[in-house]
Amino acid sequence: MKKLKKVVSLLVVTSMAVASLAACGTKASSGGDKFFIGGIGPVTGGAAIYGQSVKNAAELAVQEINDAGGINGVKIEFAFEDDEADGEKAVNAYNTLKDKGMKILMGTVTSGACASVIDKTKSDNMFQLTPSASSKDVLALGNVFQVCFSDPNQGIASADYIGSKGVASKVAVIYDSSDIYSSGIYEKFKAEAAGQNFEIVAAEAFTADSKTDFSVQLQKAKDAGAELVFLPIYYNEAALILTQAAALDYKPIFFGCDGLDGILTVENFDTTLAEGVMLLTPFAADATDEKTAAFVKAYKEKYSDTPNQFAADAYDAIYIIKAAIEKSGAKPSMSVSELGDALRGAMTQITVDGLTGAGMTWSETGEVNKAPRAVVIKDGSYVSAE
Amino acid sequence: MKKWNTINKSTRNNIITIGVIVVIYAVCQLMIAAGAMSNLMQGLLVPLCYYSILAISLNLTVGILGELSLGHAGFMCVGAFAGAFFSKSTQNGIGSSFVGFLIALLLGAIAAALFGALIGVVVLRLRGDYLAIVTLAFGEIIKNVINVLYIGLDGKGFHFSMKDSEALNLEENGTIIINGAKGITGTPKHTTFTIAALLLIAAYLIISNLIHSRSGRAIQAIRDNRIAAESVGIDITGFKLLAFTLSAAMAGVAGVLYSHNISTLVATPKNFGYNMSIMILVFVVLGGIGNIRGSIIAAVILTLLPEYLRFLQDYRMLIYAIVLIVIMIFNWNPTCIAWRKNHSLRDILHSLTGKNKKEA
Amino acid sequence: MSFISYLIKGISLGSVYSIIALGYTMVYGIAKMLNFAHGDVIMVGGYVIFTVMSMIGLNPFVAVLLSIILCTLLGITIERVAYKPLRSASSLAVLITAIGVSYLLQNLALLIFGADTKSFTSIIAVPALKLADGRLTISGETLVTIPLCILIMVLLTVFVKRSKTGRSMQAVSEDKAAAVLMGINVNKTIAITFAIGSSLAAVASVLMFSAYPSLTSTSGSMPGIKAFVAAVFGGIGSIPGAMLGGILLGVIEILGRAYISSQLADAIVFLILIIVLLVKPTGILGKKIQEKV
- CA of A294, closest CA in chain B: separation in Å? 27
Is B259 in the same domain as B222?
A: yes
Cβ contacts of B141 on chain C, cutoff 8 Å: 266-267, 270-271
Q: Is A267 helix (H, G, I), strand (E, B) or coil?
A: strand
Q: Give the contacts of B70 (CB within 8 A, at least 6 positions apart).
A: B132, B133, B135, B136, B139, B274, B277, B278, B281
Nearest in space to C66 (alpha carbons), one of C51, C83, C84? C51
Mean pLDDT for B66-79 is: 93
**Do residues C123 and C140 lie in contact, with contact meaning Cβ atoms separated by under 8 Å?**
no
Binary contact (C281, B130; C-beta < 8 A): yes
Evaluate whether C25 touches C237 at the Cβ level (below 8 Å): yes
pLDDT of residue B195: 94
**Domain with B155 in it:** 46-308
ipTM: 0.88
Which chain B residues touch C34 with a CB distance below 8 Å? 129, 132
pLDDT tens digits, A156-186: 989 999 998 888 999 999 999 888 889 889 9
- CA B142 to chain centroid, in Å, comes to 17
pLDDT band for B330, please (50, 70, 90 cuts): confident
Which CATH class name applies to A34-148+290-370?
alpha beta
* Interface probe, candidates A92, A108, A303, chain B, greatest B C-beta count within 10 A: A92
Confidence of residue B246 (pLDDT cuts 50, 70, 90): very high
Between chains, do A7 and B16 touch, taking CB under 8 Å as contact? yes
Rounded CA-CA distance A116/A85 in Å is 11
CB contact under 8 A, A216 and C2: no
Question: Whole-number mean pLDDT of chain C?
Answer: 88
Residues 250-309, chain B, touching C (beta carbon < 8 A): 274, 278, 281-282, 285-286, 289
pLDDT band at residue C193 under the 50/70/90 scheme: very high
Q: Identify the residue with better confidence: B165 or A147.
A: A147
Rounded to an integer, the average pLDDT of C127-142 is 76
According to the model, what pLDDT value does residue C44 have?
95
Instruction: Out of C100, C271, C293, name the one closest to residue B227 (CB).
Output: C293
Residue A140 confidence (pLDDT) above 90? no
Residues B92 and B127 in one domain: yes
> Which residues in C lie closer than 8 A to residue A247 (C-beta atoms)?
128, 137, 139
Residue numbers of the domain that contains C275: 2-115+139-279
Q: Which tens digits make up the pLDDT trace of A309-318?
A: 899 999 999 9
- B145 and B165 housed in the same domain: yes
Residue C293 has pLDDT above 60, yes or no: no
pLDDT reported for residue B72? 94
Residues B163 and B287 in one domain: yes
DSSP structure string for C197-265: HHHHHHHHHHHHHHHS-EE-TTTTHHHHHHHHHHHHHH-TT-HHHHHHHHHHHHHHHHHIIIII-STTH
Determine, yes or no, domain membership for B302. yes
Asked if residue B354 is part of any domain, the answer here is: yes
For the cut 50, the answer to whether the pLDDT of residue B360 exceeds it is no
Binned at pLDDT 50, 70 and 90, residue B104 comes out as: very high
The rounded distance, in Å, linking the Cα atoms of A202 and A223 is: 9
* Mean pLDDT within C268-291: 81
Which residue among A46, A52, A216 sits closest to C218, beta carbon to beta carbon?
Answer: A46
Which residue in chain B has the smallest CA separation from A97?
B40
Interface mutation vs chain C, best among A267, A271, A299, most C CBs within 10 Å: A267
Cβ <8 Å between A216 and C262: yes
Looking at chain C, which subunits does it touch, using at least 3 CB pairs closer than 8 Å as the criterion?
A, B
- Number of domains observed in the structure of chain B: 2
Same domain, B315 and B238: no
For chain A positions 131-190, those within 8 Å of chain B (CB to CB) are 135, 137, 140, 176-180, 182-184, 186-187, 190
Asked whether the predicted pLDDT for residue C290 surpasses 60, the reply is no
Task: Determine what percent of chain A is predicted with pLDDT higher than 70.
Answer: 91
Last residue of a domain, one of B293, B308, B323: B308
Q: Which residues, other chains included, contact A291 with Cβ-Cβ below 8 Å and sequence gap of 6+?
A: A353, A354, A355
Domain boundaries A152-281, corresponding CATH code: 3.40.50.2300
Specify whether B66 is located in the same domain as B130.
yes
Nearest Cα residue to A154 out of A258, A308, A262: A258
Whether residue C284 lies inside any domain: the answer is no
Give the pLDDT mean for C184-208: 92
Average pLDDT of the residues in A11-19:
51
- B14 located within any domain: no
B165 and A118 within 8 Å at the Cβ level: the answer is no
B300 and B327 in a single domain? The answer is no
Nearest to C278 among B68, B122, B133 (CB): B122
The segment with the largest mean pLDDT, out of A212-216, A370-374, B101-105, C225-229, is B101-105
Q: How large is the average pLDDT for residues A28-43? A: 79
Residue B211 shares a structural domain with residue B326: no
- Burial class of residue C144, CB neighbours in 10 A (0-12, 13-18, 19+): buried
Residue C99 and residue B133: Cβ atoms within 8 Å? no
CB–CB of B328 and C111 under 8 A? no
User: Residues 6 or more apart from C224 whose CB is under 8 A from it?
Assistant: C20, C24, C36, C38, C39, C40, C42
Q: Residue C288: which pLDDT band, with cuts at 50, 70 and 90?
A: low
Q: What percent of chain B has pLDDT above 90?
A: 44
Q: Give domain limits for chain A.
A: 34-148+290-370, 152-281
For chain A, give the percent of residues with pLDDT over 90.
Answer: 48
Judged by CB atoms closer than 8 Å, whether chains meet at B148 and A45 is answered as no
A268-277, B41-50, B127-136: which range is least confident on average? B127-136
**pLDDT score recorded for residue A29:** 46
Q: Is residue C51 included in any domain, yes or no?
A: yes
Determine the pLDDT at residue C102: 94
Lowest-confidence region among B167-171, B214-218, C112-116: B167-171
Highest mean pLDDT among A11-15, B126-130, B183-187: B183-187
Average pLDDT, chain A: 86
- Does residue C132 lie in a domain region? no
- C128 found inside a domain: no
pLDDT of residue A74: 92
Contact B329 C271 (CB under 8 A): no
For residue C285, being part of any structural domain is answered with no
> Which of C261, C274, C285 is the best residue to mutate to test the B interface, defined by the most B CB atoms within 10 Å of its own CB?
C274
CA A105 to CA A318: how far, in whole Å?
Answer: 10
Q: Does B27 touch chain A (CB under 8 A)?
A: yes
Domain containing residue C76: CATH number: 1.10.3470
| pTM, to two decimals | 0.90
Confidence of residue B283 (pLDDT cuts 50, 70, 90): very high
% helix / strand / coil in chain B, to the nearest 5?
Answer: 75, 5, 20
pLDDT at A114 over 80: yes
Chain C positions with Cβ closer than 8 Å to B: 28, 34, 36, 82, 85-86, 88-90, 92-93, 95-97, 99-101, 103-104, 107-108, 110-111, 225, 228-229, 232, 236, 261, 263-264, 266-267, 270-271, 273-274, 277-278, 281-283, 289, 291, 293
**Mutate which: B190, B262, B297, B353, vs A, most A CBs within 10 A:** B262
Query: Is residue B232 assigned to a domain?
Result: yes
pLDDT (average), residues A19-47: 69
A34-148+290-370 shares its CATH topology with A152-281: yes
Q: Has residue B143 been placed in a domain?
A: yes
Q: Is the pLDDT of residue A17 over 80?
A: no
**Nearest CB to B289 within list C90, C278, C282:** C90
Residue count (chain A): 386
On whether residue B8 sits in a domain, the answer given is no
Query: Is B10 among the domain residues?
Result: no
* Interchain CB contact of A25 with B (< 8 Å): yes
Cβ-based contacts of C222 with chain A (< 8 Å): 209-210, 212
Cβ–Cβ contact B232 with C under 8 A: no
Q: Which residues pair with A280 in a beta bridge?
A: A374
Residue B269 and residue B314 share a domain: no
> Looking at the complex, does the CB of residue A21 fall below 8 Å from at least one CB of chain B?
yes
- Contact (CB<8Å) B270/A86: yes
pLDDT confidence tier of residue B359, bands split at 50, 70 and 90: very low
Least confident of B92-101, B269-278, C104-113: B92-101
Q: In this complex, is the C-beta atom of B238 within 8 Å of any C-beta atom belonging to chain A? A: no
Query: What is the model's pLDDT at position B355?
Result: 54
Cβ-nearest to B36 among A25, A86, A190: A25
Are A255 and A167 contacting, i.e. CB atoms less than 8 angstroms apart?
yes
Distance separating alpha carbons of residues B107 and B101, to the nearest angstrom: 10
3-class DSSP state of A31: coil
Would you call A27 helix, strand, or coil by DSSP? coil
Packing angle, helices A180-193 and A151-164, rounded to 10: 40
Looking at the fold, whether B335 and B214 belong to one and the same domain comes out as: no
- Do B295 and B173 lie in one domain? The reply is yes
Number of compact structural domains in chain C: 1
Q: Check CB contact under 8 Å for B181 and A87.
A: no
3-state secondary structure of A39: strand
- CA C36 from chain centre, in angstroms, equals 11
pLDDT digits (tens, 9 = 90+) for B204-228: 999 999 998 999 999 999 889 888 9
Furthest C-alpha separation in chain C: 64
Output the pLDDT for position B2. Answer: 63
Q: Is residue C64 part of a domain?
A: yes
Query: Of the segments A378-382, B3-7, B323-327, which one has the largest average pLDDT value?
Result: B323-327
Q: How confident is the model at residue C92 (pLDDT cuts 50, 70, 90)?
A: confident
Task: Judge if B219 and B279 occupy the same domain.
Answer: yes
Q: Do C222 and A267 touch (CB under 8 A)?
A: no
- Whether residue A136 is predicted with pLDDT greater than 80 in this model: the reply is yes
Q: Which residues contact C102 (CB under 8 A, 6 or more apart)?
A: C36, C37, C39, C40, C221
